[in-house]
Amino acid sequence: MTPLLPGSATLGVLGGGQLGRMFVQAAHSLGYRCVVLDPDKASPAGAVADQHLCADYLDSFGLAQLARDCDAITTEFENVPAIALETLAGMRFVAPSGECVAVCQDRAVEKAHFEKAGVACAPHAVITNEIELAAIDPALLPGILKTSRMGYDGKGQVRVRTPGELTAAWQRLGQVPCVLEQLLPLAAELSVIVVRGADGAIVNFPVQQNLHRDGILAVTEVPAIGVDAALQQQAVASARQVAEAMGYVGVLCIEFFLLQDGRLVVNEMAPRPHNSGHYTLDGCDVSQFEMQVRAMTGLPLVPPRLVQASVMLNLLGDLWFRGGEGPQTPDWAAVLALPGAHLHLYGKAEARPGRKMGHLNLTADTPEAARAVAAQAAAILGLPF
C-alpha cells in the first residue's frame, strides 16, 4: 500500500469506547484527522474525534459516509459486525480485515485457527446440539463452558464439574453454540501483542504477565519476571505464527496460559489493542495505539522498546462505590503524588460496578520498584495487590 503520511489523511474507527479514544489520541499526535462511527452519542472516542457519526454499525448510510470521509478504517472492538468491515473494504483500506475479525468472534473457529497455525490450545469440544452435549468426553471435566460468540471479560462463561452441571449450564446459556474447555492447572497468565503490516513486516511488544479477577483483567506486569526467557520466546513465536497464518494486518493480542507443568497453551485472541497493553502508553517508546495507526497507514513498524518497568492497574467503577453511600471520586491526588504514576481516565460520565473507567500505569527503573509503587497505589485505592 502507498503510505498515508502524517498530516495528510483522515482515519476512521468503528466503535467509540476507550480503545477508540486512545487510538484517536495517538492518531491526533501524528497529525491525522479521525472519524468515529458509534451509535452512542456520549461515546468516549466520539468525544475526542474530529467527527462522530452517530449510527449503527450496519447502517448503510453511516458506513458510506465513513468510507467517503476516511482514507483508511479500523475497529476498536471485536464484536463489531464483520460484514460491516467487509462492506467498507470494498471502498477503503480496512485493517484488520472482516475475515480476520470473524475468526476472533467465534471461539470454535478461533480454536480451529490456532490448531491450523500449529499452536497448542487447551483440550476442548464444540457443543452445538444435544447429541454433541451427550457425547462429551468426561476427561474434559471439570471445565469451563464458554459461548462461542459475544463473550468477553468473563461474560458467557460457566465453570462446570460434572455432566449434570454441564447440561444445566448449557441450558442456562440458552443452548447457543458453546465450547467446553478442560480446566487446566495454571501457573500464570501471559499475553503478547504483535503488530503486522500489509507488507508482512511484523514486530511485537514484550511478554506481559496478567492477573484476572472475576474474569476481568486486574493487573499487568512487564517485564514478566516470573517467566524464563525460553518460554517468553515460545510465546512470541506462537503469537507471530497465529498472526501470519491469518495474513493479519494491525494490532493483535494473543493470550496464553502457562501451566504448572511448564507447558504453554494459547487461550484466545483479540483483533485490536488490548487492556493488557495499556502500559505501553507510558512504559514503551511507542504505544500499541500508535502501532495501530502505523499498521493501517503503512508507516514503518519499528520494534517497540520497553523503556521502564511497568505495572498496570485496571480501574473499574467499583472504586467509586467503596464508601458504601453512592459514587465518590477516588483520591487521585494521593495517587498522583506517587513517583511514576500515570492516570488514564476514559471520559465515561457514569461510574458503574464492573465498568472499565480507566487504568493506572506505574513505571520505575526496575520491576521491583514498579511493584512497590503499584502496591502503594493499590493501598490508596483499596485494591487488592
Give the CATH number of the domain where residue 167 resides. 3.30.1490.20
Q: Is residue 99 part of a domain?
A: no
Q: Parallel, antiparallel, or unpaired: how do β-strands 208-213 and 186-196 relate?
A: antiparallel
Flag whether 335 is in a domain: yes
Q: Which of 182, 204, 221 is the last residue of a domain?
A: 182
User: What is the rounded CA–CA span in Å between residue 14 and residue 250?
Assistant: 14
Q: What is the DSSP letter of 149?
A: B
Whether 154 has a binding-site annotation, put simply, is: yes
Owning domain of residue 90: 10-94
153 known member of a binding site: yes
Q: What is the pTM of this model?
A: 0.95
pLDDT over 80 (residue 323): no
* Residue 153 confidence (pLDDT) above 80: no
Q: Which pLDDT band holds residue 151 (cuts at 50, 70, 90)?
A: low
Asked whether residue 35 falls in the same domain as residue 145, the answer is: no
Question: 184 labelled as ligand-binding?
Answer: yes
Amino acid at 229: A
pLDDT in the model for residue 152? 64
The DSSP secondary structure of 305-341, one letter per residue, reads -B-SEEEEEEEEGGGGGTTSSS-----HHHHHTSTTE
Residue 363 included in any domain: yes
Q: Which of 34, 96, 87, 82 is nearest to 64 (CA)?
A: 87
344 labeled part of a ligand binding site:
no
pLDDT at 156: 81
β-strand partners of 106: 149
Give mean pLDDT, residues 251-262: 97
Q: Is 181 annotated as a binding residue?
A: yes
Q: Are 55 and 23 part of one and the same domain?
A: yes
Q: What is the mean pLDDT of residues 224-234?
A: 95
pLDDT at residue number 135: 93
> Which position has the higher pLDDT, 258 or 1?
258
58 annotated ligand binder: no
Asked whether residue 106 is marked as a ligand-binding residue, the answer is no
Residues 367 and 271 in one domain: yes
| Pair 70, 194 in one domain | no
Worst-scoring range by mean pLDDT, 116-125, 146-155, 189-198, 285-294? Answer: 146-155
Has residue 115 been placed in a domain? Answer: no
Q: What is d(CA 78, CA 81) in angstroms, rounded to the nearest whole number?
A: 8
Mark whether 245 and 366 lie in a shared domain: yes
Are 84 and 227 found together in one domain?
A: no
Residues 177 and 70 in one domain: no
Confirm whether residue 212 is marked as ligand binding.
yes
- Total domains, the chain: 3
Give yes or no: residues 165 and 32 share one domain. Answer: no
Is 12 annotated in a binding site? The answer is: no
Rg of the Cα atoms in the chain: 21
* Same-domain pairing of 44 and 65: yes
- Determine what percent of the chain is predicted with pLDDT higher than 70: 99
pLDDT band at 215 (very low <50, low <70, confident <90, very high): confident
In a domain, 103, yes or no: no
User: In this predicted structure, what is the pLDDT of residue 325?
Assistant: 73
Tell me, yes or no, whether 365 lies in a domain: yes
- Residue 107 is labelled as binding a ligand: yes
- Whole-number Å distance between alpha carbons of 65 and 114: 36
Q: What is the mean pLDDT of the chain?
A: 95
Q: Is 18 annotated as a binding residue?
A: no
Q: What is the pLDDT of residues 4-58, one digit of tens each?
A: 999 999 999 999 999 999 999 999 999 999 999 999 999 999 999 999 999 999 9
pLDDT for 154? 60
- Read off the pLDDT band of 121 (50, 70, 90): very high
